[in-house]
Amino acid sequence: MEELKSINYLDLCAIPELCNKNFFIPDYQRGYRWGDTQIRQMLEDIYSFIYEKNAAGSFYCLQPIVVKKMTEEEVVANNLESKYDDNIWYEVIDGQQRLTTIRIILALEGQIDRFNKMRFKMYYQTRPKLGDLFDKLRIDEEGDNFIVNFEDGQYDDIDSWHIHHAANKILDWFQNGSSYYHPSIQEFKGGFFENFSNTKDKDKSVQVIWYELCDDSDPYEMFKRLNDKSISLNNAELIRGMFLSDSATYKGEEQLLGQFDEDVRPIVEKRELARKQSHIIEQWDIIESQLWDEKFWSFIKKNKDSGNYSCRIEYIFDLISKKTSDQKDTLYTYLEFDNMLKSGIVKDLWELWLKVETYFSLLLAWYNDRYYYHKIGFLTTELGASVLIDMLSESTNVSKKEFKKSIEGRIYEAIHDRKKPGRKILEYTYKDDYNMLKRVLFLYNVETAYKQGLEFFPFERYKDYDWTLEHIHAQNSERIDHSIKDKWIEWFEENQKVLERLHSRLTNDENLKNLLSYFNNEYTRLLNNKERYTFNDVTKVFDLVLKYFNDLSSQEGTPTVMHGISNMALLSGSTNSSIGNSVFEVKRQMIMDDDAKGKYIPLCTRKVFLKYYNKEDQDFTVQQNFYWSDKDRKHYLEDIKDVLKPYIEAEYKQSESEVTNE
C-alpha cells in the first residue's frame, strides 16, 4: 500500500488540469441530478464573467471538488482501467455533479470541434457503462436548431436520461439564451469555450478548488459530513489546507539560511516549515477556543449566533479579506487569500498567518479594555463587520489619540440621521425617528455601564432579544388590540390592582374614588357579557385612567412630552407586547417580575422603573411609584444629557462649523 501524506492537499485547477485524469464515483454517491436551474445558473455565471467588463478577478471559481487518490489495491479491486495518467484514479467524495457537467460541456465541444480532445474519464460504480456515454453524444440538426442525441438512439437508465437532458439544456441555452443573456452556438465553440478551457496563465479562465485528502480519513465519513447535514467545504477548511498542506510554501528567511551551507539549507527550510505549521496548528486552536467565548464573540459580532461559521476563525479571515455583507460568493474569502499571495500583497503564507494573529490580538486587546470594549462593542452591534474592518486597518496606521478620536467620530455619525442634517438627538421622537432614537438609548445604556465602572455592558445578553421602544408613561388607546378581548381582560386585571393600591393611600381623592367605581363596573360588564363589550367601551375606560394619571403628573409641572426621549425606554419585544398600554405602576411591577426571574432588563430601563434617577432627592425612599412625573422626566433627561454629553456638545460644534462654512 502506498504511504499516505500527513496533510491534505489544496490547489486551484484550471479545466485543462482536470483533463486526462480518472475519476471514480463510488456507490455512496447519488446519481447525476443537476436540473435546469443549476445548469442555467452555472452557464450564466461563467458567461457574465467572460463577457461583462466589470467582472472581477482573472478567473471564475467553481465550488470545490473533494477527492482522494485510490490505492493500487482499490484500483485492482474495482477493475479500473484507463489509458490516462498511468491508470491513477481519484475517488470523488464531493463535487461529482459539477464534474459531470464539466464533462458534458467537453463532450459537446468535442462534437462541434472534432480536433478538440479535451476530456477526462469517469467511472460510476453503480452504473459501470455510464462513463462511456459522453463519447456517444451526438449533435444533430432538427429544423433551425441543434439537439443532442445518443449514438445508439436511446438511454438505459435514469442517470443516462439526466445526462442527455443536461446536454440538451446546455445546447438550448446557447441557441435561445435567457432573459438576461443572448449567447449563440458560435460563441459556445468560440469565445465561451476558449475562456472555459484556458490555462491559469491566460487573462480569463475557469477553475475549480481541488481538495485532495492525503491523510488516513475515511472517504465515506467525509462524504457524510459534507452531505448529511448540508455542510459544504467552507473557507476555514480550505484556508487551513492552504496553510498546512504539504505543498504549502513558506519563504525562508535569508538571514537564517545564510548561516548554513548550501547542502544543509534544504534541511533547515524543511524544519522551519514544520515549525511554522506546528505553530499555526497550536495558535489556530487557541484562537478558535477564544472565539467560542460567547462574551467575546458578542463583542466582535453584530449578531450573537454563529450563522454560517462552523469554524469561528473564519470570521477573522472574513475581516482580513474585507468581505462585505452583500458579497454572495461563498468562497470569496478563500479566493481573496489566494489572490493576496499571488499578487504579492503578502510575501508568503507566514506573513498572511501573522496578519491573522495581529487581527485577533487587536480584537482581544480591545475586548479587555473598558474604553474600547464599550465603544467598539456599540459600533459593532449597530454597524456590523464593516466598521471592524475599517478600524482594524486604521488602528495600525494612526496614533492612539487619533484612533480614539476616530472612534468617537464614528459613534457621532452612527447616532445621527444623514437624511436629516441638523436634527439633534434630544429632539428625536417615537413617530419620526424611531430607529435612531432606539440607537441613542442603546448607546445611553452602554455609556452608562462604561462610566459607572462596576461591570462591563453584557452584549451577549443584550443580543438574546429583539429590542423596541416603550413609552414610560402610557400614550393612548391606539395600541390596544382591537379584537382579542382576553387582552382587554388582562389590561383591566392589572390596572385594577394599581388603582386599588393607590386608593388605599389616597383615600380622600374623590376623582380616584369615582374612577375606580366606574372602572370596576366596566370590568364586571366585560366579564359578564364579553360578546357585547366593544372596543369603544374599553377605549373610554382607558382614556379616563390615562387622564387621571396625566392630571397627577401635570400637578407637578408641565405634562410629559409623550413621544420624546424623556418618555422612552428600551424593552424587549416580548415584554413590550405584554405590558401594552398599561399605566406606569403596572409596567413597573411586570418589569420587576421579569428582572426577578432573571430576564435581562437594560440597566437604564431598570433605573427608570425603579425610580433611581431621583435617588438624590430627600424624599427618595417615600416618593410615589404610581406614575412617571414631571420630576422623574427631568431627572431622567438630565442624566441622558450628562452621559451623552460628548455627542451632544459635538452637535453644537458641528452646527457652529456649518454656520461658519456658510
Q: What percent of the chain has pLDDT over 90?
A: 41
Question: When comparing pLDDT for 488 and 264, which is higher?
Answer: 488
**What 3-state DSSP class applies to 13?**
strand
* Cα separation, 296 vs 95, whole angstroms: 36
Average pLDDT over residues 42-71: 85
Q: Please state which of the ranges 127-131, 442-446, 554-558 shows the lowest mean pLDDT.
A: 554-558
pLDDT at 247 (0 to 100): 67
At 157, the pLDDT band (50, 70, 90 cuts) reads: confident
pLDDT at 470 (0 to 100): 87
pLDDT at 553 (0 to 100): 62
Average pLDDT over residues 84-99: 94
pLDDT at 659 (0 to 100): 38
- Read out DSSP for 508-526? T-HHHHHHHHHHHHHHHHH
Average pLDDT over residues 69-76: 95
Average pLDDT over residues 329-335: 86
pLDDT at 313 (0 to 100): 94
Q: Please state which of the ranges 96-100, 122-126, 552-556 shows the lowest mean pLDDT.
A: 552-556
pLDDT at 304 (0 to 100): 82
Express each pLDDT in 384-407 by its tens digit.
999 999 999 999 899 999 999 999
Distance from CA of residue 544 to its chain's centroid?
A: 48
Q: Is the pLDDT of residue 2 over 90?
A: no
Q: Is the pLDDT of residue 104 over 90?
A: yes
Distance from CA of residue 209 to its chain's centroid?
A: 24
pLDDT at 30 (0 to 100): 82
Q: Is the pLDDT of residue 529 over 90?
A: no
Average pLDDT over residues 450-470: 92
* E strand or H helix that includes residue 121: strand 121-124
At 98, the pLDDT band (50, 70, 90 cuts) reads: very high
Average pLDDT over residues 527-551: 83
Average pLDDT over residues 64-91: 95
Q: Is the pLDDT of residue 499 over 50?
A: yes
Q: Is the pLDDT of residue 662 over 60?
A: no
Give the 3-state secondary structure percentages of the chain, helix then strand then coil, rounded to 5: 55, 10, 35
pLDDT at 398 (0 to 100): 93
Question: When comparing pLDDT for 319 and 497, which is higher?
Answer: 319
| Mean pLDDT, all residues of the chain | 84
Q: Which three cell numbers stand for residue 141?
A: 440538426
* Cα separation, 236 vs 334, whole angstroms: 8
Taking alpha carbons only, the member of 599, 565, 560, 561 closest to residue 579 is 599
Q: What percent of the chain has pLDDT over 70?
A: 85
pLDDT at 358 (0 to 100): 96
pLDDT at 495 (0 to 100): 77
pLDDT at 80 (0 to 100): 96
Q: Is the pLDDT of residue 3 over 50?
A: no
pLDDT at 60 (0 to 100): 87
pLDDT at 260 (0 to 100): 59
CA dihedral 236, 238, 242, 247 (to 10 degrees): 150
Best-predicted range by mean pLDDT (318-322, 469-473, 501-505, 620-624)? 318-322
pLDDT at 5 (0 to 100): 43
pLDDT at 379 (0 to 100): 98
* This prediction's pTM: 0.71
Order across the sheet with 59-69: list the strands.
9-14, 205-213, 59-69, 89-94, 22-25, 121-124
Question: When comparing pLDDT for 83 and 266, which is higher?
Answer: 83
Backbone angles phi, psi at 138, to 5 degrees: -135, 140
Average pLDDT over residues 487-500: 79
Where exactly are the structural domains of the chain?
A: 9-233, 254-414, 442-646
